[in-house]
Amino acid sequence: MELKVQAASRMDGIVKAPPSKSYTHRAFIMAFLAEGTSKINDPLYSDDTMASLNSCKALGSKVEKHSSYCEITGINGKPSTPDNVLDLKNSGTTLRILTSIATLTDGYTVLTGDKSLRTRPMQDILSALKPLGVTAFSTKNNGKPPIIIKGGFKGGETTINGNVSSQFISSILMASPYAETPVHLNVKDKFISRPYVEMTVELMEKFNVKVEYEREKKSFHIDPQIYRSTDYTVEGDYSSASYLIAAAASLNSEVTIKNLMKNSKQGDKLILDIVEDMGSEVNVKNNEVKIYGQGRLNGVEVNLKNAPDLLPTVAALGAMAKGTTYITGVEHARFKETDRIHTCAIELAKLGVSVTEKDDGLIIRGGVHGGVVKSHMDHRLAMAFYIIGLKVGNVVIEDASVYNVSFPDFPEIIEKLIAGTGK
Q: Which pLDDT does position 335 carry in this prediction? A: 84
For residue 422, pLDDT over 70 is answered with no
CA atoms within 13 A on the CB side of 329: 17
Q: Which pLDDT does position 290 carry in this prediction? A: 97
Q: Which of 210, 92, 72 is nearest to 144 (CA)?
A: 92
Stretch 4-22: mean pLDDT: 96
Cα distances (angstroms) measured from residue 213 to each of 197, 219, 417: 11, 6, 42
Which pLDDT band, with edges at 50, 70 and 90, does 181 fall under? very high
- Residue 67's CATH number: 3.65.10.10
The total of structural domains in the chain comes to: 2
Q: Looking at the structure, tell me whether residues 368 and 305 fall in a common domain.
A: yes
Which is the catalytic residue, given 124, 309, 359, 409? 309
Which pLDDT band, with edges at 50, 70 and 90, does 336 fall under? confident
Please name the helix (run of DSSP H) or strand (run of DSSP E) that holds residue 361, with its range, or none: strand 361-365
Q: Looking at the structure, tell me whether residues 205 and 242 fall in a common domain.
A: no
Q: Which of 300, 413, 298 is nearest to 17 (CA)?
A: 413
Do the annotations mark residue 309 as ligand-binding?
yes
The verdict on residue 127 lying in a domain is: yes
Which pLDDT band, with edges at 50, 70 and 90, does 229 fall under? very high
Q: Looking at the structure, tell me whether residues 190 and 278 fall in a common domain.
A: no
124 is catalytic: no
Q: What is the pLDDT of residues 14-40, one digit of tens each?
A: 999 999 999 999 999 999 999 999 999
Q: What is the pLDDT of residues 119-137, one digit of tens each?
A: 999 999 999 999 999 999 9
Q: Evaluate whether 242 touches 235 at the Cβ level (below 8 Å).
A: no
Q: Looking at the structure, tell me whether residues 11 and 39 fall in a common domain.
A: no
Stretch 194-205: mean pLDDT: 96
Residues comprising the chain, all counted: 423
> Is the N-terminal amide bond of 121 cis, ω within 30° of 0?
no
Cβ-based neighbours of 81, under 8 Å, separated by 6 or more: 105, 106, 107, 108, 109, 151
Q: Which pLDDT does position 81 carry in this prediction? A: 97
Cβ-based neighbours of 232, under 8 Å, separated by 6 or more: 27, 31, 38, 39, 40, 41, 203, 206, 207
Do the annotations mark residue 399 as ligand-binding?
no
Which pLDDT band, with edges at 50, 70 and 90, does 177 fall under? very high
Stretch 352-376: mean pLDDT: 97
User: Which amino acid, 393?
Assistant: G
Q: Evaluate whether 34 touches 15 at the Cβ level (below 8 Å).
A: no
Q: Which of 242, 196, 192, 197 is nearest to 360 (CA)?
A: 192
The verdict on residue 377 lying in a domain is: yes
Q: Tell me the pTM.
A: 0.92
Question: Residue 299 sits in which domain range?
Answer: 3-18+236-418
Q: Which pLDDT does position 420 carry in this prediction? A: 82
Do the annotations mark residue 26 as ligand-binding?
yes
Q: Looking at the structure, tell me whether residues 68 and 11 fall in a common domain.
A: no
Do the annotations mark residue 336 as ligand-binding?
yes
Please name the helix (run of DSSP H) or strand (run of DSSP E) that holds residue 47, with its range, or none: helix 47-58
The verdict on residue 228 lying in a domain is: no
The verdict on residue 327 lying in a domain is: yes
